[in-house]
Amino acid sequence: MSEHQPLRVLLYSDDRDVRAAVIAALGTRVHPDLPLLEFVECATEPVVWQHLDVRSGSHRIDLAILDGEAAPVGGMGIAKQMKDEIFQAPPALLLTGRPQDAWLATWSRADAVLSHPIEPIRLAETVISLARGILQST
């Protein structure tokens, strides 16, 4: 990713309202110093894996935002499998059902954890931090 290429954000939730809230909170540019955001919305686990599989010809994913409350497969399990199975997996931001679930999210090896309901300022701050880390590593 460069400053001219968008930051591709995989957004997984079976709830379209959660996906809409994340997109509304972040907009197309989360900070003037960062690239535009391009969202890849996924409502099911198989579609998540299609986008994360670089062999499938899909474009790279720079950041994954995963809803831990999604059903039938939650974001915690996807984050754990992604970190275990994908070489240089993208950073993962996990959205948990409540703040008390943050300790459990450590099992998933998520890079950041926020709880529902989505707080736009905290979400933006977290994504800014993760995006800057992505840019520094490239």
Q: How many CB atoms lie within 10 A of CB 37?
A: 20
DSSP 69-110: T-SSS-HHHHHHHHHHHSTTPPPEEEEESSGGGHHHHGGGT-
Let me know if residue 2 belongs to a domain.
Answer: no
Put simply, whether the predicted model's pTM sits higher than 0.75 gets the answer yes
Residue-range definition of the domain harbouring residue 30: 7-137
Q: How many residues are there in the chain?
A: 138
Q: Is 42 left (phi over 0), alpha (psi -120 to 50) or beta?
A: beta
pLDDT at res. 54 = 64
Residue pair 55/89 in contact (Cβ under 8 Å)? The answer is no
> Dihedrals φ, ψ of 66, to 5°?
-120, 130
Let me know if residue 97 belongs to a domain.
Answer: yes
- Looking at the 3D structure of the chain, how many domains does it have? 1
Which CATH number does the domain housing residue 72 bear? 3.40.50.2300
Model confidence pLDDT, tens digit, residues 35-77? 999 999 999 999 999 999 865 555 789 999 999 999 999 999 9
pLDDT at res. 44 = 97
